[in-house]
Every structure is written in structure tokens, then in C-alpha cells.
């Protein structure tokens, strides 16, 4: 059994506490939260220690194997590093860190300690996304050439008033990119591989907070795929993906839920009669010859996928790599940092991101020396 503690019991941390109390391969032995009253109420029915801080937990709880960190973004890196340095396995909620240099330190610390570092990008476990990756990896649409990807949603001011830390560069690390669309950006890297070059425009179109509520970016991936990305919390609800390959295209659309857990309203694959390279190269083709897809609906099937928590616990007990490990989550955060650099400096940014350059920019954002475009 993996003796596990949860740090931060509000929001998603509460779910981790509840899952651990009934898990077949893990024991909840402690929780830590500055609100010890709420923490005590949450674990009242189980034999778990309540601590007021991570430091207290690390110093006073014996026999601990792992910790789950579900705190505001700016605490992810220092808390993860402290736990890894004590020899604990770590599951940290997304994002892995708000600076790519901190993500580097976390991955290196996990390697030194030979401990599992898992990150909460759970969208990889959703049935629809799993099926999407199967289609791309199978070569059904050929090599991916072009992607249009939109995640749009409305976040009223009450959302930020409830959790004020989400409103600042220092505590949130960003707005729609890190807080909401990081899941979609993680999917893009999971589906398409490492990014190589980014250009972007960022704005705060109308929220009171200082972080971005709208991001538009163009990304070139090492595979040659080009992606046009639009993310916003100042818009209507829309999850839209168009993935075009040499031999076909995928269409994904949902206007009910921007975070589709299973099958979207529209999930179709269109296969061309012949690949684009063959069509374009034909000397007898009409001047306006075109690829006409034969569309069919995609069946997501009945896929039993492990949860990220199950994957983390299995990796800690049995060895292996969790579904979302520190290295792959670092790729996601690096792309987000590249979009921030490109949008605020108004430059084309090549990856890998210059760590010192990003830290300088981030320090300027926190201090108010660098600012976003506004809609006014």
C-alpha cells in the first residue's frame, strides 16, 4: 500500500482525498491545508493526520511514501521539490510549474531521487481524446499537415473573486493558457510531438485581472504540422478541432462543453480517395482539382482507461512511467512559456525556450514592467 498525503483540500484536492480513502492500493495517512478546520472535517471519518503546512507534514508524519499537491500554481514547484528531496513520490496538479526553469528543476530532482513525478493533465485519459490519438497514430489521415484548435469559454468575474490567486502573474502564472487551455496544449503535444516555433498575440479583452484572457498562436511542430490555436475565457462555449492530414481530415466540435470528457457532439473522419501529394502531382488533374473527403462518424468504443491517480500509484509501487510524467508535462509548460514570450515580446520564438529570457520576462510581468495588449 502506498502511504499518501494530500496537500490542499479545496477543489480538486477534495476529490483526491475521497479517492484515496477507497483506493485498493493506497492509504490516505495525512492531509495538509492552512484551513485545518476544513481539513479536519473532510477526514473526520478516516484515520488521517491533519497538518497546517507541507513543512509540518514532512517533519511529523512517519512512513510517508507519496504526496499529492493540489495548491495554487505558484506553490507547485517549491512544494514538489521539497517532497522529492525527502524521497517522496509526487503527483502535482497541472501545471507542473509556472516557469520552465522550475519544471527543469523538478524533473532533475525526480531523477536524482529515483521517484515518480506525475502531473494532473487528465485529458489524456478521456475516451474521445484516446480515440483521437489512436486515429492519428494509426496513419488513417496520413501525416498531419494542419491543425485548427479552439477552446473558448466564459469565465465571469465571480470565478476569479472566489479564488483571487487566479488573477495574478505571481500566483497563477498566467490566465487562459495555464489555467484552462493547458489541458488542450498538453493534448496537442501528446498528439503531434514536440513544438519548434511559435508566434502569438495575447490580450486581456475585458476582465479585471492582470493575466491574459485571450491567446491566439501559430505553432510549428517538429513533425512539420502547423497549428492555429485560439483560447479565450471571453467568448461563447466552443470546443473545436480540425486536424488535416495528407490522406484525410478529422472534425471535432462541441458547443455544450468546452472540456469534453467522452464523445463530442461532432466527431468525424473524412478520408480522401487519394493522398494530397498524389492529387497535386497529377498532370492530368483539373486546375481546380480538390480532395473530397468521404465522411463517417467516429465510434469512441468502450475503452477502460486507468485514471491518472491509478497510473501514479501503480508507477510508484511497481515501477514504470505514469500516463502524464514530469518530462512530458514539461513540454506542455515550455510551449505555454513560448506563447507568452512570443505574445508579449511580439517576436517569433524558437524552442527550446531560453530559460533566462523567460525568467526575465516573468519577473517584469509580476513587477508590472511588462503588460498585455488591451482591447481598449
pLDDT in tens, 157-194: 999 999 999 999 999 999 999 999 999 999 999 999 99
| Better-predicted residue by pLDDT, 66 or 289 | 66
- Locate 188 and state its grid cell: 496537442
In-domain check, residue 374: no
Using the predicted structure, report yes or no on whether residue 324 has a pLDDT greater than 90. yes
- Quickly state the pLDDT bin for 260 (edges 50, 70, 90): confident
141 and 112 in one domain? no
Q: How far apart are CA 151 and CA 144, in angstroms?
A: 20
Q: In angstroms, rounded to a whole number, what is the distance separating the alpha carbons of residues 178 and 7?
A: 20
Q: What is the mean pLDDT of the chain?
A: 95
Helix (H) or strand (E) holding 80: helix 76-85
pLDDT of residue 304: 76
Q: Looking at residue 289, what is its pLDDT?
A: 66
Q: Taking the model in full, what pTM does it have?
A: 0.95
Say how far apart CA 178 and CA 172 lie, in whole Å.
8
Domain of residue 161: give its range: 124-303+333-367
More confident residue, 93 or 279: 93
| Percent of the chain whose pLDDT exceeds 70 | 97
pLDDT at 301: 79
Asked if residue 252 and residue 206 are part of one domain, the reply reads yes
d(CA 174, CA 165) in angstroms, rounded, equals 11
**Number of domains comprising the chain:** 2
How far apart are the C-alpha atoms of 19 and 309, rounded to whole Å? 8
Instruction: Indicate if 53 and 178 belong to the same structural domain.
Output: no
In-domain check, residue 373: no
Question: Using CA atoms, how far apart are residues 318 and 320, in angstroms rounded to an integer?
Answer: 7
Q: Report pLDDT for 303.
A: 73
Question: Looking at the predicted structure, is the pLDDT value of residue 230 above 70?
Answer: yes
Measured at the CA of 73, the angle between CA 71 and CA 78, to 5 degrees, comes to 80
Comparing 179-183, 204-208, 281-285, 350-354, the range with the smallest average pLDDT is 281-285
Domain assignment present for residue 136? The answer is: yes
69 with 148, same domain? no
Burial code (b: 16+ CB inside 10 Å, e: under 16) for 215-253 equals bbbbbbbeeebbbebbbbbbbeebbbbebbbbbbbbbbb
Q: Is residue 69 part of a domain?
A: yes
Same domain for 139 and 70, yes or no, is: no
C-alpha 235: how far from chain center: 20
- Give percent helix, percent strand, percent coil of the chain, each to the nearest 5: 40, 25, 35
**177 part of a folded domain:** yes
H or E element, residue 59: helix 54-60
Cis geometry, peptide bond prior to residue 253 (ω within 30 degrees of 0) = no
**Residue 179: per-residue pLDDT:** 96
Looking at residue 375, its pLDDT comes to 58
238 pLDDT higher than 80: yes
**Is position 44 within any domain?**
yes
Residue 113: CATH number of its domain: 3.40.50.720
**pLDDT reading at 55 higher than 80:** yes
The pLDDT of 296-325, averaged and rounded, is 93
Q: How confident is the model at residue 376 (pLDDT cuts 50, 70, 90)?
A: low
Cβ atoms of 341 and 353 within 8 Å: the answer is yes
CB 133 within 8 A of CB 125: no
Structure confidence by residue, pLDDT tens digits, 69-107: 999 999 999 999 999 999 999 999 999 999 999 999 999
pLDDT band for position 288 (cuts 50, 70, 90): low
User: Has residue 372 been placed in a domain?
Assistant: no
Amino acid at each position: 500500500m502506498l502511504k499518501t498525503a494530500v496537500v490542499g483540500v479545496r477543489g480538486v484536492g477534495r476529490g483526491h482525498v475521497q479517492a484515496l480513502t477507497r483506493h485498493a492500493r493506497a492509504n490516505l495517512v495525512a492531509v495538509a491545508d492552512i484551513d485545518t478546520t476544513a481539513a479536519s472535517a473532510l477526514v473526520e471519518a478516516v484515520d488521517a493526520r491533519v497538518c497546517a503546512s507541507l513543512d509540518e507534514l514532512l517533519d511529523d508524519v512517519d512512513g510517508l511514501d507519496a504526496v499529492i499537491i493540489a495548491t495554487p500554481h505558484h506553490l507547485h514547484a517549491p512544494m514538489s521539490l521539497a517532497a522529492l528531496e525527502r524521497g517522496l513520490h509526487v503527483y502535482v496538479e497541472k501545471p507542473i510549474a509556472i516557469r520552465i526553469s522550475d519544471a527543469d528543476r523538478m524533473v532533475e530532482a525526480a531523477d536524482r531521487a529515483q521517484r515518480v513525478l506525475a502531473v494532473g493533465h487528465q485529458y489524456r485519459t478521456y475516451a474521445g481524446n484516446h480515440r483521437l490519438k489512436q486515429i492519428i497514430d494509426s496513419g488513417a489521415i496520413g501525416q498531419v499537415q494542419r491543425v485548427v484548435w479552439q477552446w473558448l469559454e466564459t469565465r465571469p468575474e465571480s470565478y476569479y473573486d472566489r479564488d483571487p490567486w487566479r488573477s495574478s502573474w505571481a500566483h497563477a502564472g498566467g490566465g487562459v493558457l495555464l489555467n484552462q487551455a493547458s489541458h488542450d496544449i498538453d493534448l496537442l503535444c501528446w498528439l503531434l510531438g514536440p513544438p519548434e516555433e511559435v508566434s502569438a498575440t495575447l490580450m486581456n479583452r475585458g476582465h479585471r485581472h492582470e493575466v491574459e484572457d485571450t491567446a491566439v498562436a501559430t505553432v510549428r511542430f517538429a513533425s512539420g504540422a502547423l497549428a492555429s490555436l485560439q483560447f479565450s475565457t471571453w467568448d461563447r462555449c466552443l470546443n473545436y478541432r480540425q486536424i488535416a492530414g495528407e490522406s484525410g481530415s478529422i472534425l471535432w466540435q462541441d458547443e455544450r462543453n468546452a472540456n469534453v470528457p467522452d464523445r463530442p457532439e461532432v466527431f468525424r473522419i473524412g478520408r480522401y480517395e487519394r493522398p494530397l501529394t498524389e492529387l497535386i502531382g497529377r498532370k492530368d488533374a483539373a486546375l481546380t482539382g480538390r480532395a473530397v473527403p468521404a465522411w463517417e462518424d467516429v465510434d469512441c468504443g468502450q475503452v477502460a482507461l486507468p485514471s491518472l491517480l491509478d497510473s501514479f500509484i501503480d508507477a510508484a509501487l511497481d515501477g514504470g512511467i505514469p500516463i502524464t510524467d514530469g518530462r512530458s508535462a514539461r513540454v506542455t509548460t515550455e510551449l505555454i512559456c513560448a506563447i507568452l514570450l512570443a505574445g508579449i515580446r511580439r517576436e517569433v520564438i524558437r524552442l527550446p525556450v531560453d530559460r533566462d529570457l523567460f525568467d526575465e520576462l516573468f519577473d517584469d510581468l509580476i513587477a508590472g514592467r511588462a503588460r498585455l495588449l488591451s482591447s481598449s
